[in-house]
Chains A and B, each alone.
Chain A
Amino acid sequence: MSQLSYREAVNGALIQEMERDDRVFVYGCDVADHKRIYGSTTDLVERFGPERCFSTPISEDAMTGMGLGAAISGLRPIHVHIRVDFLLLAMNQLANMISTARYMSGGDLSVPMVIRAVVGRGWGQSAQHSKSLHSVFAHLPGIRVVAPTTPNDVKGLMSAAIRDDNPVVMLEHRWLYDTVGEVDEGDAVVPLGKARVVRAGTDLTIVATSWMVVEALRAADLLAERGVSVEVIDPRTLAPLDEESIVASVQKTRHCIVADNDWSFCGFGAEVAAMVSERCFGQLGAAVSRVGWAFVPCPTTRCLENEFYPNANDLVRAAERSLGLDAMDLSGFDFYTYENRFKGPF
């Protein structure tokens, strides 16, 4: 075990996999400049040369198609986007080509490609640098979608994604980059498609994605003060979804909230709510509820940004509603501790 930051864990996984397999290469806007995508692509050019790590023109559509071509002819590309919002320019390649290539070839082709994209937040990232889009990608058959929240998970899941023979969209939340945690030594792979019980509990299940895992843990701490025991589940892989872990938890707690780092409407939370309702209908003590972003484009000014993003406070209130409890006094708590660590740029 060693203590690594999220960025170091991403970087460690890339180095490890590039050492292990010379078919792996990393490319995208600015992957080889001195900032190295927040340090996540550090040392790759130095270790593996400009053939295996190179910056590209700002041409997301063409570069995504190029990844597909490389992947179906024997290489294992990793395409990097400093914001997932820019990946929208590559949606045609993703939705019409990459996700269908195997199926439409009757299984002849496989697309071992990883698309890494950073989810932005805060400091006025505004409407075009803050989307998450995991539900959009997960909606498409033929793609895996992963959103790791801890250094250990990102290292293990990145390795698994690179070794996987399918296209994987890997979403990395900007605020998680500075978090530090224990990371397993060696090439420990975290399997795709397996959720993690982040905190065990008996009264209520919170299924949380991406940054909302941090908020869910904070909410669990607050609720513990009044004797409510919360189980927090991080699906880690959103597609395919580990339904069994969620169902097992809800069967125990009978209450479920989905805390999604996204808009709720037509989103991941709706998927989980439907699945839990179908599979746990008779056991539920309350309807599954969803907590997500305000259904508006993300505003710039801080006061509205604070209204836009739900936090632990909102989760505590949702939990109280689910369990039929009075509202506890939260006036003494500060809910924006992490934001002070992120002052941009970008």
Chain B
Amino acid sequence: MTARAQALTLYESLLLIRRAEEKIQAHYAEDDMKTPVHLYIGQEAVAAGVVNGLDPADPIVGTYRSHGIYLARTDDPEGFFAELYGRVGGPAKGKAGSMHMARPQDGLFLTSAVVATTIPVALGLAFTQQYRKTGRSVAAFFGDGAMDEGVFWESLNFACLKRLPVLFVCEDNGLAIHTPSVARRGYKSVADAVGGFDCHFVESESTDPAEISDLTRDALARQREDGRPVFMRLRCYRYVEHVGPREDRDFHLGYRREEEFEYWRARDPVRCQRERLIKLGVPEAEVAALETKIDERLSRCVAEAQKAPFPEPEELHRDVLA
């Protein structure tokens, strides 16, 4: 793929996530999306970049903050909005909602609202790949808060021990709800703590999805070469409150600082990618046309979800067991 085509693809991915969540912000107060939303606005380069760097068949697991990986992997905003609106057309027929958005058919197996709980599941998915010699790697997305849990360290240990093809993707936005990582960590740095494990370690605070995609691809190549799993600490910043649609500018409360907000805002992944496109010589009209296409598609998704049918009452009892 040419640099130009790659840049366009990544812009489309970023923008789809950003605009989809802006739709949520615009409609949430109407009280029809009855599902707690943990928005990703500000962090998009991580999902867009890592998912782009993975093979489309590489399995993924994530957290309750998974709108980004869902849209980056599935290209299914239709199902996404149907799920948010609790309609039968959603991937889980409305039973999952925002916090459990997943689509196994696209390799996005599970997302969970209990911190760190999908990390060990990635081990099992990776074990299957190893067992069946598929050559695929498994990406486990989790927040910095998940590193507080014992199960994270147990999982990292086991993956290193067994040389499982796992990509641990720590989306480090520096906060667990309102508690900054410095108030939760007894270790000197993530690099120090993870550094003792027999894995590849990658660290970045880039908001450029191409850079993150390259980091992912390189790391996977090294993982395939020597079998050692990969730990990626990708620093990022969420502009919105932990849960809910509001932008979080509660600087007076002390858990985040305005300078930090502005620092990240100045490197906003979506705007910077747009600037990159223009610099690469993509005509303004072409970029605008892409934006309009995405906006129109998302508006259609919302409008269709709003009038789509709800599941029938019998759906309640379906799919408890196979």
Q: A interface vs B, CB < 8 Å?
A: 29-30, 33-35, 55-62, 85-86, 89, 123-129, 294-297, 299-304, 307-308, 343-346
Contact = CB atoms under 8 A, between A and B. Distances in A.
Contacts of A61: 150
A304 B316 contact: yes
A40 B92 CA distance: 35
A301 B315 CA distance: 11
B176 interface: yes
Contact of A58 (B116, B310, B313): B116
* Chain B interface extent, by class: 35 or more
Interface string B26-52: 000001001110000000000000000
Contact of A127 (B98, B100, B185): B100
A294 B316 contact: yes
Contacts of A296: 316-317, 320
Interface string B75-102: 0000000000011000011111111100
B95 A128 contact: no
A58 B149 contact: yes
Given A123-B36, A300-B95, A345-B36, 11 more contacts: A58-B148, A123-B35, A124-B86, A128-B99, A295-B320, A300-B35, A300-B97, A300-B99, A302-B86, A304-B94, A346-B36
B183 interface: yes
Contacts of A297: 320
B107 interface: no
Interface centre among A57, A86, A294 (most CB of B within 10 A): A57
Contacts of A301: 34, 86-87, 93-95, 97, 310-311
Nearest to A124: B35
Interface of B: 31, 34-36, 86-87, 92-100, 112-116, 145-146, 148-150, 176-179, 183-185, 241-244, 250, 253, 255, 310-311, 313, 315-317, 320
B246 to A, nearest CB: 9
Contacts of A86: 114-115
Nearest to B309: A303
Contacts of A127: 100
Contact of A299 (B95, B149, B184): B95
Contact of B255 (A33, A303, A308): A33
A294 B317 contact: yes
A307 B316 contact: yes
Contact of B98 (A34, A59, A124, A303): A124
A61 B150 CA distance: 8
Given A57-B148, A58-B149, A59-B148, A302 B316 contact: no
Nearest to A30: B177
Closest 8 CB pairs of A and B: A301-B86, A300-B97, A301-B94, A124-B35, A57-B148, A33-B178, A58-B148, A345-B243
Most buried by A among B112, B241, B317: B317
23 contacts: A29-B176, A34-B250, A34-B255, A58-B146, A58-B148, A58-B149, A60-B149, A61-B150, A124-B35, A124-B99, A126-B95, A128-B112, A299-B95, A299-B315, A301-B94, A301-B95, A302-B34, A303-B94, A303-B313, A307-B313, A343-B31, A345-B242, A345-B243
